[in-house]
Amino acid sequence: MKIATLIHLYQPYNQQEDVLSRIINESYRPLMLGLKENPKVKLTVNITGTLTELLVKKGFTDVVTDLHLLASRKQVELTGSAMYHTILPLLPKYEINRQITINNTINKRYLGEVFSPSGFFSPELAINALVLREAVSQGFVWIAAPELSYGATLPSTTVLHKDEKTGLFVFFRNKRVSSLILSAAVRDAQQLWQETNDIHKSNYWFVVMDAETFGHHRIGHEKLLFEILTSPNFEPITISELLKEMTATAKVENVILRPCTWTNQEQDFWVSSNKTYILWKDPTNPIHKFQWQLANLAMKSVNAPEYKNPSKQTYSWRKARKQLDIALASDQFWWASAKPWWSLEMIESGAYALKQVLVTLDASVAAA
């Protein structure tokens, strides 16, 4: 069975150093070591630019160096993403484009020539038509998508899926297999094979998981991942390799994707489209309402028409622009969802970050 595995690495720009160190030692370094020790194992890797930069600034350059090495050995395929892990479908076009552009710039700076992604990973696998268009405009060829974005039925793995409007190739995450692995519902490679007996005729499995699951959230769980990827039942492959193989042989099916995230369930589409991004923008959540009022005010203020004039782009405005990029990160909205987790500290921190955008911008106006 061909198995294309995508792991997603992300930590907030202001992650506490002790927490970051634990994640690196428990997860990132064991994952890099496992790859170096098993040269036949291949992964598709998304690392946000904010984490790449954080690793370098905090002195954990070995992780970045290892990623460069593994990418140069063709063991790792790197993808594009949003710099500060924003929920892209909830942002206007300009902010989506900016997050992708900055992410490309930062990862290129630190990873060099091996960072030349053809694939795109939207944080939380959150997609809609605008995200697809912006991904194509940035030169990406394929995108990872939630299984449910295909529709109520499961997508076939024997055909290539292509977005009807943009021409972007779409690879759907196998939610069942991903969940079996990340949840530790299976304890070894043989059990995974037995639990999936009914889908052994699939052409491939595409599993997508947070990297921190392996070793940090679940201590020692990276051992299961490498046991699976070195099992004779599985053939590790990157998505671009899979795309190249299938382009030569498979039929193409044009698709129109539903707006979706990897957290959605089918019943979310039965009730209301407002439930699609409910963990970050719940119309019934009063805190989300206030958060987005403040976020929209900050975006409107920074992107006011007068700032299109370069002479108006003062030091304070440029500082506010940078602050806004960071403040739009998904964390504060997710921690306000209370579905089921909640953090007053993260909510306050997010509100303060957005407030500082306006304070800085006010200084820019005063100086003008």
Residue 254 domain flag: yes
254 & 295 share domain: no
**DSSP string over 268-326:** HHHH-GGGTTTTT--TT-HHHHHHHHHHHHHHHHHT-GGGGSGGG--HHHHHHHHHHHH
**What confidence score (pLDDT) does residue 275 get?**
83
Establish if 278 belongs to a structural domain. no
Determine contact, residues 48/81, Cβ cutoff 8 Å. Answer: yes
Residue 309 within a domain: yes
Query: Are residues 138 and 101 in contact, defined by beta-carbon separation less than 8 angstroms?
Result: yes
CA 259 to each of CA 72, 130, 131: distance values in angstroms, whole numbers, following the listed order: 35, 10, 10
CA distances in angstroms from 294 to 119, 271, 336, listed in the order given: 32, 28, 14
Please tell me the predicted confidence (pLDDT) of residue 260.
96
Is residue 68 located within the same domain as residue 215?
Answer: yes
Within-domain flag for 191: yes
**Same-domain pairing of 51 and 104:** yes
In DSSP terms, which residues pair with 354 in a beta bridge? none
pLDDT at 364: 56
What is the number of structural domains in the chain? 2
Given this model, what pLDDT does residue 273 score?
66
**pLDDT recorded at residue 272:** 67
Shared domain for 148 and 241, answered yes or no, is: yes
Q: pLDDT in tens for each of the 368 residues of the chain? A: 999 999 999 999 999 999 999 999 999 999 999 999 999 999 999 999 999 999 999 999 999 999 999 999 999 999 999 999 999 999 999 999 999 999 999 999 999 999 999 999 999 999 999 999 999 999 999 999 999 999 989 999 999 999 999 999 999 999 999 999 999 999 999 999 999 999 999 999 999 999 999 999 999 999 999 999 999 999 999 999 999 999 999 999 999 999 999 999 888 887 666 789 999 999 999 999 999 999 999 999 999 999 999 998 999 999 999 999 999 999 999 999 999 989 999 999 999 999 999 999 986 555 55
Contacts of 315 (CB under 8 A, 6+ apart): 364
Which tokens belong to 60?
Answer: 């954990």
pTM of the model: 0.95
What integer pLDDT is reported at residue 268 of this predicted model? 82
Domain encompassing residue 345: 286-367
Say if residue 218 is in the same domain as residue 348.
no
Please indicate, yes or no, if residue 275 is contained in any of the structural domains. Answer: no
Coil, helix or strand for 350?
Answer: helix
Dihedral (C-alpha) 208, 214, 218, 221: value to the nearest 10 degrees? 110
Residue located via tokens 């053809």: 118
The DSSP secondary structure of 52-118, one letter per residue, reads: HHHHHHTT-HHHHHHHHHHHHTTSEEE-B--TT---GGGS-HHHHHHHHHHHHHHHHHHHGGG---S
Assess whether 298 and 248 both reside in one domain.
Answer: no
Residue 88: what pLDDT?
98
Domain of 205, CATH number, reads: 3.20.110.20
Burial 116-141 (b: 16+ CB within 10 A, else e): ebbbbbbbbbbbbeebbbbbbebebb
- Whether residues 39 and 170 share a domain: the answer is yes
CA distance 339 to 351: 19
The reply to whether 276 falls in a domain is no
